[in-house]
Structure 1
Amino acid sequence: MIIQRYQLYIERTDRTKNMARFYALSIEPNLFGEACLTRRWGRIGTSGQILIHHFEREKDAVVLFLELLRQKRSRGYGTVLQNKPLNR
């Protein structure tokens, strides 16, 4: 059972390289009570790609969530000042 829902939306833009990317992460329960980590990424303005990981324990999903966040931050992704919905 999920105790808390996690959601994150970060972007990386570089006009000199014509780069405008987004990365979204969320942890939510599925119908069976498992934790599902959903990853979405792609060019800003597109629906992008989706990958879903299923975990029996919320802790395992949170560990991957934080690891992916660390990787993206090291590559230059940052939070956006305005709220953006995860579903486009």
Structure 2
Amino acid sequence: MTQFEMFPVEAYMRRIDREKNMYRFYHLQIERTLFGEWCLVRRWGRIGANGQIMRIWFDNISDALAALKNLAKAKGRRGYVV
């Protein structure tokens, strides 16, 4: 068992702007499916709410990690912080 299998890669980001009443979260997590595929799970919404969810499947871990890094970078440019 590799370290990644024991500790999945994830990023929890949030954006808070009290003047605009904006309390948002964005959560990215890579998981391995039962069929050996890699799944990037994206969750977002208002802090304290369930929010929305989207899953994207990949054949290998390197593509999933690249997608996670690109999404985290894009959200960082929009004001989200870890």
SS for the counterpart of 2:13 is strand
Post-superposition Cα deviations, 1:3-48, rounded to whole Å, max 9, x if no partner, equal: 6220111100001111000000000100101110000000000000
Measured after TM superposition, the shift of residue 70 of structure 1 is 0.4
Work out the CA distance in 1 between the residues paired with 2:58 and 2:51: 23
Equivalent residue runs for 1:19-58 within 5 Å:
19-58=22-61
Work out the CA distance in 1 between the residues paired with 2:28 and 2:41: 6
Unmatched segments (≥5 aa) in structure 2 = none
Amino acid at match of 2:56: H
Runs of 4+ in 1 over 4 A off after TM superposition: none
Post-superposition Cα deviations, 1:31-68, rounded to whole Å, max 9, x if no partner, equal: 10111000000000000000000111111111110000
Amino acid at match of 1:30: T
Amino acid at match of 1:32: F
Work out the CA distance in 2 between the residues paired with 1:57 and 1:7: 16
TM-score by length of 2: 0.90
Identity over aligned residues, as a percent? 47
Work out the CA distance in 2 between the residues paired with 1:61 and 1:13: 27
Work out the CA distance in 1 between the residues paired with 2:10 and 2:72: 11
Q: Residue in 2 aligned with 1:70?
A: 73
TM-score by length of 1: 0.84
Work out the CA distance in 2 between the residues paired with 1:74 and 1:9: 15
Work out the CA distance in 1 between the residues paired with 2:59 and 2:68: 15
SS for the counterpart of 1:78 is coil
